Structures are given as C-alpha cells and as structure tokens.
Amino acid sequence: MRIVIIGAGFAGMYAALSAARLRDIQGASPEELEIALVAPEPTLVIRPRLYEAKPETLTAPLLDVLKSIDVVYVQGSAETVDTKSRMLQVATAKGTRKTLSYDRLVVATGSRLFRPNIPGLAEHGFSVDSLDDAVALDRHLHSLADRPARNGRDTVVVAGGGFTGIEAATEMPARLRAILGKDAKPRVIIVERNGAIAPDMGAGPRPIIEDALRKVGVETRVGAGVTSLDETAVTLSNGERIEAETVVWAAGIRAAPLTQQIPAERDNFGRLLVDQDLRVTSVPGVFATGDAAKAACDDAGNFALMSCQHATRMGAFAGNNAAAELLGVPTKPYHQKAYVTCLDLGEAGALFTRGWERKVEIVGEVAKKTKHEINTVWIYPPRAERAAALASADPDHVTEV
C-alpha cells in the first residue's frame, strides 16, 4: 500500500509526519505502508517570513526528518494526476518522467499569488510569494543603492492592504535604511482597493494597525487599485501617478494549478471542497489539505484560511486519515476552533488577536516577541529524531493555541 503526498510545505510536511505516526502506532512497517512525499526540493520554505530581509536564509531542510520517520522522498514536480488509474506523473530535474501509483493521494500543493493581467506587472512587479520571488525583490532593493537618488528610487508601492501587504510594507522602511543609509527617507505606500486598510481584520484591530502605519511612516491609498506600472512609476485607478521604482504585489492568492486536475468541485480560490476528514468526496482515494482545500473548521460556519496556521493542522489530519483508511482504523474529523493572528508591524511592534472576531490581546513589543517566537521556533520542522518528530504530529494537538 502506498500514500503519496504532493508538496513539502507546511501541510505536506505534517501530512507525512502524521501518516507515519499512525503507521507507527498501528505497528505497520514501511514496507507494508509506504509513505512517499513528492516535491522539487526536500526543503520547507518558511513562507510566512518571506517579507523579511535575507530571504535566502528562510528555509529548513526536511530530508533528515523524513528519513528519521521512514518517509520516502521523491524529488520532482507532480505534473499530471490520473485519479481513475490512481497514477501520478512526476517530472524530475533531469528532464525525465517518473510514474507513481497510489492507494491514497494527499494533495498539499499550496497556493500561488494571483497576478492579474495589469500592464507592466509581469515585467516590473515583485512579490514575496515564493522564495525565488523574495530573493529577486531583495536583490532589487540592494541594487537601489547603485542608482541615482532621484524620482522614485526610494519609493516602494505595496499593492494589497491585507496581512501580507501590511507586513511587507511595515518592514520596508527599516530594510531600505539598512541598504540606502540611516539618513535615507524612504517612502512606502500601501494601495488597497477596499475602503479601509486590513479589510479582513475587522474594526477592532484596525485603529492599532493604522496607528502603527503612521509610526513607521507608511502611507495608504484606499478605494483605489493599481492599473499599470513601468520601471519608474505606478498609475492608480483614481488617476494618481506615483513615481516608484519598486512595486510589491500582495493582492490575493489562489490554490496551485495542479488542483484543477482533480475532477471535483472547487471554490472561487480554486480550493477543492472536502468533507470533515479532508476527503475529496467525489474522487475516491484523494484527500486535499492546506491551501488546496476548503474545509470547515467548526460548526459555526468558519472555514480554514489559506495560512500556515491552518495548513499545519489540516496536514496532520489529512495524513492521519489517509493512513487510517488503509490501516482499517477510524479517521479523525478535522476541527480547528482556536484561531489567532499575529501581525508584524515592523518597528511599531506587532498585533496579536484571538478568535474569529479578532479580539486584540497583545500589542507592541510584547506582541513582537510572540511573533518572533512563532516565526523562529513554532513553525519550523521538528528535529530529526524519530520519537520527537512523530509526537509533534498528533492531529489533535498540532498548533493548539
């Protein structure tokens, strides 16, 4: 029997850990139940931190962890999925093709930044969506020091006033001063189509966020969007033209394209609809998790967000349940009633909220310490020691807050 997991992000990593944990509990051998993880690299990209400087350092190796729990790593990119024959085609870095059969498939392919067809965006826009994107932005920022200090050299426009956009924008003044000199006067502007910044955070946290933006010197343009850009300027839907040599696109994500190969219903974000066990109900043998799945968190109508916090726990349930079906033991319905946010606000500290109503609990430097611990400890892989790694993946206790 074989479980194949596509993706080495937070959901894929915890799916592998959790499936191996249940296999161990049930006394099955790796030969009786093979668990294979398919990804281009055996590396976890710490995606929630890609708004920071030195993004090339924001990865964690997975190979030793996978070896310690007897998970087979298959290097390559999943290209095609045939759910009728239960076969997966994998393209390797050497240009060859590899075929994998599966008894259970866990789709943990994550998400991609949504890039609309805006003139100039593909050629001149940057993002912090992937490691390569973040590294390209970082190199671009460093290149600004070699350019004349005129026009929009010191201006950064961030398109999107949600979580990612706010974190990228509030970090930017300090990043630019580190590159251009402590006396530099960078200008950072968030452009948000909605009528208020942080539209999903609600009215409670917003005054704190707006105050933090003022403290770090970030301007906002609300009720407007980017309509075009070139090497030196951005044009907004309200007609305003802003001279800027750096534009960071942070306006929305969609499920990775591979999910479209699964013949099942999906939502407006491309996420596969799943049941409580994270099973794609219309396709036998297929589970979806993380940003690839739309899953109910509770009975109150809340659905998992496309975030590390939800992907980690969803991954643990999906891996457990894929293994449970093959081992003939009961599955565990996914649930995630606890929900927190911790928003980095650059030199203004951070903001910590609890619950779907986003009740503010901690602000400023105390919240910043919490954010630092989340970003540098909590979200990293467990150590490559079998007992500890397997214990970390108990689905009922993953990301309890």
131-143 vs 163-180: helix crossing angle, rounded to 10 = 40
> Is residue 158 in some structural domain?
yes
**Tens-place pLDDT, residues 302-319:** 999 999 999 999 999 999
**Mean pLDDT, residues 8-21:** 97
Does pLDDT of 392 surpass 80? yes
10-25 vs 308-327: helix crossing angle, rounded to 10 = 30
Q: What is the pTM of this model?
A: 0.94
The CATH number linked to 180 is 3.50.50.60
**Mean pLDDT, residues 215-240:** 95
Residue where a domain stops, chosen among 204, 226, 249: 249
125 & 77 share domain? no
pLDDT at 401: 55
% of the chain exceeding 90 in pLDDT: 88
Does pLDDT of 249 surpass 60? yes
245 & 259 share domain? no
> Is residue 224 in some structural domain?
yes
pLDDT band at residue 92 using 50, 70 and 90 as cut-offs? confident
**Mean pLDDT, residues 278-283:** 94
191 & 295 share domain? no
pLDDT at 183: 87
99 & 169 share domain? no
> Is residue 353 in some structural domain?
no
How far apart, in whole angstroms, are the C-alpha atoms of residue 87 and residue 80? 8
133 & 221 share domain? yes
244 & 95 share domain? no
How far apart, in whole angstroms, are the C-alpha atoms of residue 277 and residue 207? 39
**Mean pLDDT, residues 319-323:** 98
> Is residue 381 in some structural domain?
no
Tokens of residue 350, six digits: 């951070």
Q: Which of 320, 216, 215 is nearest to 277 (CA)?
A: 320
pLDDT at 397: 86
Does pLDDT of 371 surpass 80? yes
192 & 258 share domain? no
- Torsion 144-149-150-156 (CA) sign: positive
List, as one string, the DSSP characters of 140-203. Answer: HHHHGGGS-S-TTTTEEEEE--SHHHHHHHHHHHHHHHHHH-TT---EEEEEESSSSSSTTT-T
28 & 98 share domain? yes
> Is residue 178 in some structural domain?
yes
Residue where a domain stops, chosen among 309, 334, 359: 334
Residue where a domain stops, chosen among 223, 249, 275: 249
pLDDT at 150: 80
pLDDT band at residue 149 using 50, 70 and 90 as cut-offs? confident
Residues 241 and 235 sit within 8 Å (Cβ to Cβ): yes
How far apart, in whole angstroms, are the C-alpha atoms of residue 226 and residue 119? 10
Does pLDDT of 224 surpass 90? yes
How far apart, in whole angstroms, are the C-alpha atoms of residue 85 and residue 103? 10
Q: Which of 71, 62, 64 is nearest to 23 (CA)?
A: 71
Q: Which amino acid is at 210?
A: E
> Is residue 322 in some structural domain?
yes
**Tens-place pLDDT, residues 155-211:** 999 999 999 999 999 999 999 999 999 888 999 999 999 999 998 888 889 999 999
179 & 74 share domain? no
78 & 26 share domain? yes
125 & 245 share domain? yes
How far apart, in whole angstroms, are the C-alpha atoms of residue 38 and residue 34? 13
Does pLDDT of 23 surpass 70? yes
pLDDT at 260: 94
Average pLDDT of the chain, as a whole number = 94
> Is residue 78 in some structural domain?
yes
> Is residue 259 in some structural domain?
yes
Residues 65 and 382 sit within 8 Å (Cβ to Cβ): yes
Of 86-95, 237-246, 324-333, give the lowest mean pLDDT range.
86-95
Number of domains present in the structure of the chain: 2
**Mean pLDDT, residues 35-46:** 97
149 & 54 share domain? no
Q: For residue 181, give its domain range.
A: 117-249
% of the chain exceeding 70 in pLDDT: 100
Question: Which residues, other chains included, contact 35 with Cβ-Cβ below 8 Å and sequence gap of 6+?
Answer: 2, 3, 5, 16, 19, 20, 23, 70, 71, 72, 323
Distances (CA, A) of 158 to 2, 162, 168, 234, 399: 44, 10, 8, 10, 30
